Amino acid sequence: MSPRKQVQEELSREKIMDVAHELFVQKGYQHVSMRQIAKELNYSHGAIYYHFNNKADLFYAMVVQDFELLNQVLQQIINQDIPPDEKLKKILLGYIEFGLTHKSQYELMFLINDEEVKSCIQQEPMESYGMFANVISNLSNQKASIQDIWSIFLSIHGFVTHYCRSNQTYDDVKNLARSHVEYILKPILNGKV
């Protein structure tokens, strides 16, 4: 019997993306080939090419899925019927919680340093940031300028990035995250922007 899986076990895009994700995180994008992914799955590399044109296409599909998940988290908070000040805080905390709950996805979404990948994932980060910026602007009653919103984003992104490669979970730093969000929103919430 061949070491390859039998045809009855159909190879899905999701299976491929799960294995590829782990390999990209462990070894880095540049050090993973389609053949390695196929070997890990016990399939021929041709079976992967049936679902994805190349490694960049596979990576792009993974990142699109991750940005959709982030946007869903933020949309759930936006849809809550709570006061604007509380919603602002929850949006920022929701972003931080997403990043620290999905560390490996966050790393691939925002922290990968590869020109091939960067060139194919420009639209999704901009759409996600646009959603974030519009919500912050609307919830602050237009008190926050474009520069303020960008600074808020960089501040929470920096917080997530700082803890992303640690063993600490969101629950471990939840109180720090709350303090951080309170601090960066203080000028907006006090009307001193």
Average pLDDT over every residue of 8-32: 85
99, amino acid identity: G
Q: DSSP per residue over the chain, as a string?
A: --SSPPTTSPPPHHHHHHHHHHHHHHH-GGG--HHHHHHHHTS-HHHHHTT-SSHHHHHHHHHHHHHHHHHHHHHHHHTS-S-HHHHHHHHHHHHHHHHHHSHHHHIIIII---HHHHHH-SHHHHHHHHHHHHHHHHHTTT-S-HHHHHHHHHHHHHHHHHHHTSS--HHHHHHHHHHHHHHHHHHHHTT--
Q: Does 95 score more than 50 pLDDT?
A: yes
Least confident of 24-28, 102-106, 180-184: 24-28
The string of pLDDT tens digits covering residues 174-193 is 999 999 999 999 888 776 54
pLDDT at 9: 58
Residues, the chain, total?
193
Q: Does 8 score more than 80 pLDDT?
A: no
Phi, psi of 98 (to 5 degrees): -60, -50
Q: Which residues contact 171 (CB under 8 A, 6 or more apart)?
A: none
Q: Does 117 score more than 70 pLDDT?
A: no
